[in-house]
Amino acid sequence: MASENSSPESAEERRTGSEQHLQRLRKLRELVAEGIDPFGGRLDGLLSTRVAGQQFEDWESRATDAAAADAGSVAEMAPVRLAGRLTAIRVMGKSIFADLKDQHGRLQVYVRKNSVGDDGFARFKSFDLGDIATCQGTLFRTRAGEVTLKVAAFDLVAKSLHPLPEKWHGLTDVEQRYRQRYLDLMVNDRVRTVFMQRAEVIHEIRRFLVERGFTEVETPMLQAIPGGAAARPFETFYNALNCPMYLRIAPELYLKRLLVGGFEKVFEINRNFRNEGLDRRHNPEFTMIELYQAYSDCRGMMELLEELIVRVARKVFGTLHFPWGEGGEVIDLTPPWRRVSYRQLIEQRMGEDWFGLDQRAMAERGLAEGLDVDHRMECWEITHEAYEKLIERSLLPPTFVIRLPAVLVPLAKRCADDPELVDVFELEIGGQEIAPGYSELNDPLEQRARFEEQARRATKVEDASGGRMDQDFLTAMEYGMPPAGGAGMGIDRLLMLLTGMESIRDVILFPQMRPENR
């Protein structure tokens, strides 16, 4: 029977069973016994590896110019201090070469016994891959041409208790990469680059819109009635108010309230939640930007989004040409982008007589094309199934699909020349929808009628919310909402396009996963 006074070490040994882990624990205890703190605190005066390398190259260039001009020597470069994770350690007699890796890159460090002393050399030699250290010294260029830090002093600031995945055979399991994203970022430079680019893309979107007079706002994530999209929400319960609440599926109805209140250009970079399936294009929690501009319309939004995406591509990636898929296709974002009607695309793919068919004939033709349809479905449902399954995926170059059936979009204005259609677009790039946009419906009486018709069809949203309509939104519209253009763009899908990632999970830091114990 185990003693109640078992030592921490023996308890840890029973817990892990990993010899490398236990070796690192023993090193940790030895450091503590020597009075060395293996988990340091605040560090001032640090440079990134990238800045340090740039400063050295600038100094080297000045020294070369001075020598060429016979202008005398240039003052020595001041010592620098770096911090990062040790990702390679090479012991060569009385010298050690190691790689120090931080957020911005990697820089080689050089430790000599006669520079740091016998004890210091032995301590650095005992470091493990994955340990986080700070190194101070002077930069030089090796005979092989590599910028390197000659270490005069160092400290351990975080002891790693687990070995890193092997460089060549390590973190290849896709599920482990998503579950342990910290390891994925640690060892896969490409992954870290993608998420740095994600941050730059969002920053550039904000800058673009602010430059054009838009105001960034925040709207509720918890809503009493989910609205603004046709999707199934996540439900929770608000104890303080003793009522059910929903995680938002879209911020649209709140942003339009702001148009009523006098905000003429607004946007929100928002997290939305939809209680639906997971696949390579869908995650239940995702990021969108929604924006609304008073006195604009669908065409104004097309122009704005085209300019925005082109600006982001050029600023962050330096190109308008992006490889896509395994077939060697290249998506060209050079404007102007194609504009084509929904009806035209349907007729090109399903036959010019398509819209003259009855439900049964449509269903039969759809079944022949491999669609999951039947004659009990309404014509618009069969038609949209054909669009989503057969047409949308073929639209690789940027394409604004315009003039959609009114039944699909209850929040948009009807087309002046055909009340069966609405003045909207869906921006398709790479075979997937990147952004929808509308000439926003601002007639409160028609909006109420549309909502009532939608409720009669008992869509997923109304089922989840008990068939209720957002009466406060309708009341707000009755005070007068200016004509406006609106658009929403999926940030995650845009990143998939610009980075060449085939799964949405590769552009979300922590994608949704089934718990490991279920």
Chain segment 422-480, per-residue pLDDT in tens: 999 999 999 999 999 999 999 999 999 988 887 776 544 444 444 578 999 999 999 99
C-alpha 449/C-alpha 446 separation (Å) is 5
**pLDDT score at 5:** 35
Residue 163 has pLDDT above 60, yes or no: yes
Looking from the CA of 172 toward its CB, the CA atoms found within 13 Å total 5
Mean pLDDT of the chain: 91
pLDDT band at 165 (very low <50, low <70, confident <90, very high): confident
Whole-number CA gyration radius for the chain: 30
Residue 393 has pLDDT above 60, yes or no: yes
Instruction: Please write the tens of the pLDDT for every residue from 227-279.
Output: 888 889 999 999 999 999 999 999 999 999 999 999 999 999 999 999 998 88
Query: Which of the pair, 182 or 16, is modelled with greater confidence?
Result: 182
**pLDDT score at 171:** 63
Residues of the chain with CATH 3.30.930.10: 186-337+444-506
Residue (of 231, 197, 420, 464) closest to 312 by Cα position: 197
**pLDDT score at 117:** 96
Percentage, residues of the chain above pLDDT 70: 93
170-179, 366-375, 508-517: segment of lowest average pLDDT:
170-179
Pick the CATH number of 186-337+444-506 from 3.30.930.10, 3.40.50.720, 3.80.10.10, 3.20.20.70: 3.30.930.10
Residue 18 has pLDDT above 50, yes or no: yes
Instruction: Please write the tens of the pLDDT for every residue from 108-123.
Output: 999 999 999 999 999 9
* Distances from the Cα of 316 to the Cα of 76, 185, 308, 312, 391, angstroms: 35, 20, 12, 6, 30
Q: CATH code for 9-164?
A: 2.40.50.140
Query: Which of the pair, 341 or 464, is modelled with greater confidence?
Result: 341
Strands 338-341 and 399-405: parallel
**pLDDT score at 367:** 96
**pLDDT score at 451:** 87
Residues of the chain with CATH 2.40.50.140: 9-164
Proportion of the chain in helix, strand, coil states, percent, rounded to 5: 40, 25, 35
**pLDDT score at 68:** 75
Please tell me whether the overall predicted TM-score, pTM, comes out greater than 0.85 for this model.
yes
